[in-house]
Amino acid sequence: MSIIKLKNLNKIYNENSEIAVHAVNNINLSFKEGEFSAIVGPSGCGKTTLLNLLGGLDSPSSGEIIIDGVNIGDLKESKLTDFRMNNIGFVFQAYNLIPVLTARENVEFVMHLQGRSKKEREERSMALLESVGIGDRAKVRPAKLSGGQQQRVAVARALASKPKFILADEPTANLDSKSTENLLDIMEQLNREENITFIFSTHDVRVMKKARRLIKLEDGKVIE
């Protein structure tokens, strides 16, 4: 069953000017639960724009984004914020951890926003850090963690809200080869054992090799 459906999706920047950019061009796609997919293509092809649309971080110029039966384009900003928080996990290239919080507190943060109990937050955050192999770094702040460790915290944080799927935008771009392999192995294991859906935006060949479905973009269009 598809958990995401994109229908005639378009995103045009500077729409009413002479320098209009058709970043996403009439895309029709669906994603099933448990996918391990990568959106690939050269810089400027629309990968990040498409991921931002999928995550409700940007709004389409036209078309529909239907997630678990909900057309997120119809949601008002406050409802969309709640929907994102409860349904979508994000892993960014730049980690985006809160520097004054420990690894564990970073993972707990979204659960705090969801109103979960202190006991549940503490137990789940610790279990997630253990699952990504850095339980021993729970009390350490981001500045004292390596890039690979910070990205593992980011993956644990993305999982904390129990999302329907995780969007990972160039998650390996700032990592060395060993950290990349470790991170991808962890994500693949989570996908296989817990049926967690991952959708990557990437031009990293290592990610492409792991992905079970490649969606190739060129000039905002799906070409393969």
pLDDT in tens, the chain (224 residues): 789 999 999 999 987 777 888 899 999 999 999 999 999 998 888 899 999 999 999 999 999 999 999 999 999 999 999 999 999 999 988 888 999 999 999 999 999 999 999 999 999 999 999 999 999 999 999 999 999 999 999 999 999 998 999 999 999 988 888 989 999 999 999 999 989 999 999 989 999 999 999 999 999 999 98
In angstroms, the Cα distances linking 128 to 94, 135, 154, 167, 193 are: 20, 8, 11, 17, 14
SS3 state at 8: strand
Which homologous superfamily is 2-222 in? P-loop containing nucleotide triphosphate hydrolases (3.40.50.300)
List of residues 6+ apart from 104 with CB closer than 8 A = 122, 125, 126, 129, 138, 139
Cβ 195 vs Cβ 33: under 8 Å: yes
Q: Which of 178, 104, 96 is nearest to 141 (CA)?
A: 104
Instruction: Please name the residue that has the structure tokens 């994102």.
Output: 84
Q: Look at residue 95 in the predicted model and tell me its pLDDT.
A: 85
Domain segments of the chain as ranges = 2-222
Beta bridge partners of 65: 6
> In this structure, what token pair is assigned to residue 24?
């996403």
- At 166 the pLDDT is 95
